[in-house]
Structure 1
Amino acid sequence: MSMRFKHKTALVTGAAQGIGFEICQRLAAEGATVLLNDIDAALAQQAAAAISAQGLQCTAHPGDSGDVQFVRQLVQTAVQEHDGIDIVIANAGITLFGDFFTYTPEAFNRVMQVNLGGSFFLAQAAANEMKRLGKGGSVLFTSSVTGHQAHKNLAAYGMSKAALEMLARNLVIELSPFGINVNTIAPGATLTERTMQEADYASVWSRLTPMGRPAHTADIAQAALFLVSDDARHITGQSLVVDGGWTCISPSPYQEV
């Protein structure tokens, strides 16, 4: 097993299940000390315990990543307990489906608060510490293929994900002088605890995906780890789409109905 992240501290939000958990698991397995955040306290504790039980370094930090004061304190906790922060992955996000004509301000504001505000201010807090410590670092945002291609009932969500990719591009100007790279990863259809609750999810997306199947969480996590590793130090401001080719042809799942 490679130990690419030995002596590094990584913070991952929205990580008790699915892609976030897989990222934490793999970071810890490759030597990182991982702070695992999730809004669900019980799931966060359970996830961190599962990783720690393997003899790996992972602690649970439950809380709302859309709360600016919370994410600032989360970064301070990493710095105070581990003498620094090297990797931040703003993975937390919420999907609130809804027809554009009736979408509520409450739903819109919550999507923006978590997907955009939480990611922005987490990156800000972490980058300030990376700048102060003078060792550089990596920031990664979790975008989505819905930030590249239209998807029914996801106007607000797709808008937030596209904005994250522009944020990463803009932060190249701000962060590069301090040795901090910033990128986004854009997963396509992925088999997770949540998506597997949808009827026929795997079969529908197997038909729609050129590679013949939706992603596994490992497919996304492996790409994420590359972007926050030293192997990607000269890659910044980019978005890596991991979707089995779906955005190249973009068939809609609604055509399957």
Structure 2
Amino acid sequence: MKKYIVTGAGQGIGHQIAQQLMDEGHVVLVNDIDASLLKGTYVKAGDVSSPAFIQELVAYSETLPGDLAGCVCNAGVTTFGSFWDYSPESMKSLLDLNIQGTFFLIQAVAKSIRKSGKAGSIVVTSSVTGHQAHPDLAAYGMTKAALNQLVQNLVIDLSPVQIRINAVSPGATMTERTEKDANYLKEWSRLTPLGKPADVQDIAEAVCFFLSDKSKHITGQTLIVDGGWTSVSPPPQS
């Protein structure tokens, strides 16, 4: 049994990751900004764009059974917008959560793992938009590309204390949010070489692989899970 923090776990990919880890017998502290979405034995609602809240979250995790073995930095915001009129307000919210929140969550979790003297594994949820251009996602894609580089760079700092760090970049995925778009499944089935978008379990399997000992000699890597989309990269029609 290991103990993990999963942020952005109220629904979608984050919820599936947390559920899979619990099914494997691990202690999981689930976080989301929306308290009404949280389910599990150990939950803590709050905004992980706030460094102060991150400290509270990790401190609470230390009171739970077991040593902290890692986290999944899954919380993030997607903001669509044309480059020509993208607003400073949108940019601030994007950077605060996707960049600042992820950076300081990794820092706090890594310090907790280092204090225990045990090995650990951290996974960051990135995106195919951090690898390939996508219409109206210049700002968002920029943050995800930055996270890919952060993961690579932190190998220098985390490897000496036996903490691995990797990223998973999902492509089109069926979640509660994307299912609201009546054309999403049809359009992304057309665009994806394997013939359909991912489901949340496809992404969770990749994340849990990186958290597990099956990947004990893998660090600093980003795994794209997109059914082959980045190989051909056709944009959606809308």
Category of TM-score, reference length = shorter chain: over 0.9
1:154 paired to 2:148: no
Equivalent residue, structure 1, for 2:30: 36
1:180 paired to 2:163: yes
CA contact (8 A) 2:70 2:113 kept: no
String of CA shifts for 1:16-60, please: whole Å, max 9, x gaps. 10000000010000011010100001111xx32xxxxxxxxx321
| Aligned pair partner of 1:100 in 70, 78, 83 | 83
Deviation at 1:96, TM superposition (A): 1.1
Deviation at 1:83, TM superposition (A): 4.5
Please tell me the residue identity of whatever aligns with 2:95. M
| Aligned pair partner of 2:8 in 14, 35, 50 | 14
| Aligned pair partner of 2:21 in 24, 27, 31 | 27
| Aligned pair partner of 1:68 in 51, 56, 62 | 51
Equivalent residue, structure 2, for 1:121: 104
| Aligned pair partner of 1:89 in 58, 69, 72 | 72
String of CA shifts for 1:160-205, please: whole Å, max 9, x gaps. 0010010000000000010100000000000000011113100000
SS of 2:62's equivalent in the other structure is helix
Equivalent residue, structure 2, for 1:170: 153
Residues in 1 aligned to 2:158 and 2:83: alpha-carbon distance in whole angstroms = 36
Equivalent residue, structure 1, for 2:186: 203
Runs of 4+ in 1 over 3 A off after TM superposition: none
Residues in 1 aligned to 2:219 and 2:197: alpha-carbon distance in whole angstroms = 27
Residues in 1 aligned to 2:126 and 2:93: alpha-carbon distance in whole angstroms = 17
Q: CA RMSD in A?
A: 0.9
Please tell me the residue identity of whatever aligns with 1:34. V
Residues in 2 aligned to 1:102 and 1:198: alpha-carbon distance in whole angstroms = 24
Please tell me the residue identity of whatever aligns with 1:163. A
Residues in 2 aligned to 1:20 and 1:83: alpha-carbon distance in whole angstroms = 21
Please tell me the residue identity of whatever aligns with 1:82. P
CA contact (8 A) 2:17 2:208 kept: yes
String of CA shifts for 1:65-104, please: whole Å, max 9, x gaps. 1111111111111112235311210000101111111111
Residues in 1 aligned to 2:63 and 2:30: alpha-carbon distance in whole angstroms = 16
Equivalent residue, structure 2, for 1:247: 230
Residues in 2 aligned to 1:197 and 1:158: alpha-carbon distance in whole angstroms = 22
* TM-score, structure 2 as length reference: 0.98
Deviates more, 1:234-243 or 1:72-81: 72-81
Residues in 2 aligned to 1:86 and 1:75: alpha-carbon distance in whole angstroms = 12
Residues in 1 aligned to 2:166 and 2:198: alpha-carbon distance in whole angstroms = 20
Please tell me the residue identity of whatever aligns with 1:15. A
CA contact (8 A) 2:2 2:66 kept: no
CA contact (8 A) 2:129 2:141 kept: yes
Equivalent residue, structure 2, for 1:217: 200
SS of 1:81's equivalent in the other structure is coil
Residues in 1 aligned to 2:170 and 2:113: alpha-carbon distance in whole angstroms = 27
* TM-score, structure 1 as length reference: 0.91
